[in-house]
Amino acid sequence: MSRSGAIDRIDALLATVSDPAFTAVVRGEPLAIAGSPLLAFWLTSRRETAETLTNVGSITTFTIRGYFRMQVSQDVRESVELDIWDAIYNIGSALRGDADLAGNCDDSSVGDATTGYVSMGGLTLRTVTIPFEVDILEETTITP
C-alpha cells in the first residue's frame, strides 16, 4: 500500500468518467478554470483511527469537485443540471468499482454529493462536490 499509489489510482479512476466529458482531471484545487466541465480533487483531511500497540490506522478525506460553466442561455443552464446528476452517478460508480484503489488502501467510500456555485476568474461556475474517504488500517507502524 502506498499513499502515492492511492492518489494515482483516484486520478486514473476519475479519468474514466466520460459522461459528462470532463476537459481534464486536476490534482489540487484549481485557481482558474481553463475548460468546462473540469474535474478536480484534493486532500481535505486526515484522522487517525484504530490505534493498537503496533500501529495506527487512518481515514483520509479527499474533496472531488466538478466545475461547470454557467451561461446566459436557459437551454445550456438546464443541460448543466443533467450533467451534474450524471457526474454524481458516474464519479461514484467509477470510485466504487475499485474500493481498495488497486491494493493501495483497505477500503474507501463515496460520501453525499452537494451542489453549489462559485465565482472564479470572472466566471460563475456550477459545482458538484463529493467527499471521498480512503481507509488504511495499518498506515503508521509504532516502534517502541
Question: What integer pLDDT is reported at residue 89 of this predicted model?
Answer: 97
Per-residue pLDDT of the chain (144 residues; tens, 9 = 90+): 788 899 999 999 999 999 999 999 999 999 988 888 999 999 999 998 877 778 888 899 999 999 999 876 666 567 899 999 999 999 999 999 999 999 999 999 999 999 999 999 888 999 999 999 999 887 777 887
Say how many domains are in the chain.
1
d(CA 102, CA 112): 23
Alpha helices in 16-134 (DSSP H): 74-96
For residue 121, the enclosing domain spans: 3-141
Long-range (24+ apart) CB contacts under 8 A made by 43-52 are 44/131, 48/140, 49/135, 50/137, 51/142, 52/142
Q: Specify the CATH number for the domain of residue 113.
A: 3.30.70.1700
> What pTM does this model have?
0.89
Question: What integer pLDDT is reported at residue 66 of this predicted model?
Answer: 97
